[in-house]
Amino acid sequence: MKQLLEKLSNAYGVSGYEDEVRDIMVKQLGKYCEVEVDKFGNVIGKKGSGNPKIMLAAHMDEVGFLVKHIDENGFIRFIKMGGLEDQILPGLSVKILSEKRQLPAVIGYKPPHLMKEEESKKKVKYEDLFIDTGLDKEETQKIVQVGDPISFDSKFADLDKATFMGKAFDNRIGCVVLVEVMKRLTGFKGTVYAVATTQEELGLKGARTAAFKLDPDYALALDTTIAGGTPDINKTETTIELGKGPCITVVESSGRGMIPSPKIKKQLIKCAKEADIPYQLDAWKEGMTDAAVIYMTREGISSGGICVAARYIHSPYSIANLKDMENSVKLTLEFLKRINELS
């Protein structure tokens, strides 16, 4: 699983521009099930036939940027694609993904040596930042055009045997779990749809169209969630930590997102306990998964969520644990094995 995560993490897939990641998911899911790419760009794997039908959704896009303007000196102004905190952006290495080639660049900012006192106290706003390719306007415009996606230029790295860091763990981790579930799934009496969704970070868009198309009986979002256990996060903010098992969603975004089906939530907890799988219960103050739109599709779809804890999501690097991924796979498979207990 770690090898696939490294490949997916190092791939680029800003929301709406997931082509590189999509190609990997088509190839990987295609080893274990029938695969199609729908009109919206979702990758849909199918295993089995008949009822019940369950949709497993893992979004394949990542937060990033888009070229907005190239000024008279070749510096690039940009817009954000997804939820990003402006304070982390100055000085970061990025990759402009133009049609001609991938162009490395840096998010520029005024050095502290030249800042006036009031400037140094001012909160950073991304509108005041720019991207520096090191090229002049003429050379930049030969390669870059308005609308080109821009991604963090970060590379996967091991921290120890079970812990690693990399880009876009939200939600390439879920994509790996999705593939591994389909790889191990056997003897399911019904239909399992493994959906790698597009444009989740911009409004859960791909999940909405895929759920309408598939009209499943049940759905699970396979995603990441925010890990605490760091000096700046206390237990009242989150009790979720790395290495303590998959997170069963209790509520998303204080109820504005998915409120899981009670029977699915109870069944996930029961499966974890009886299969001796460590788990955590996760109540989200903010944030949503694909399940937030899936469960409101058509007349409603009974839904739940299994998430892997990760530190520092929506940044150039996240940290996650392989054991949590493995146990998420086990919990998903245990849930599928006992799906008929829900009826």
d(CA 286, CA 293): 15
Give the separation between CA 119 and CA 122, rounded to whole angstroms. Answer: 5
Contact by Cβ (8 Å): 325, 250 = no
Q: What is the DSSP string of 310-333?
A: EES-SSS-EEEEHHHHHHHHHHHH
What is the C-alpha radius of gyration for the chain, rounded to an integer number of angstroms?
A: 21
Q: What is the DSSP string of 129-185?
A: -EEE-SS-HHHHHHH--TT-EEEE----EESSSSEEEES-HHHHHHHHHHHHHHHH-
Contacts of 301 (CB under 8 A, 6+ apart): 55, 211, 215, 216, 217, 218, 219, 294, 295
DSSP string spanning 9-47?
HHS--BTT--HHHHHHHHHHHTTTSEEEE-TTS-EEEEE
DSSP structural state of residue 62: B
| Annotated active-site residue in 6, 62, 180, 200 | 200
Give residue for tokens 């303590």: 244
Cα 289 vs. chain centroid, distance in angstroms? 9
Active-site residue, 20 included: no
- Alpha-carbon distance of 46 to 52, in angstroms, equals 13
Which active-site residues does the annotation give?
Answer: 200
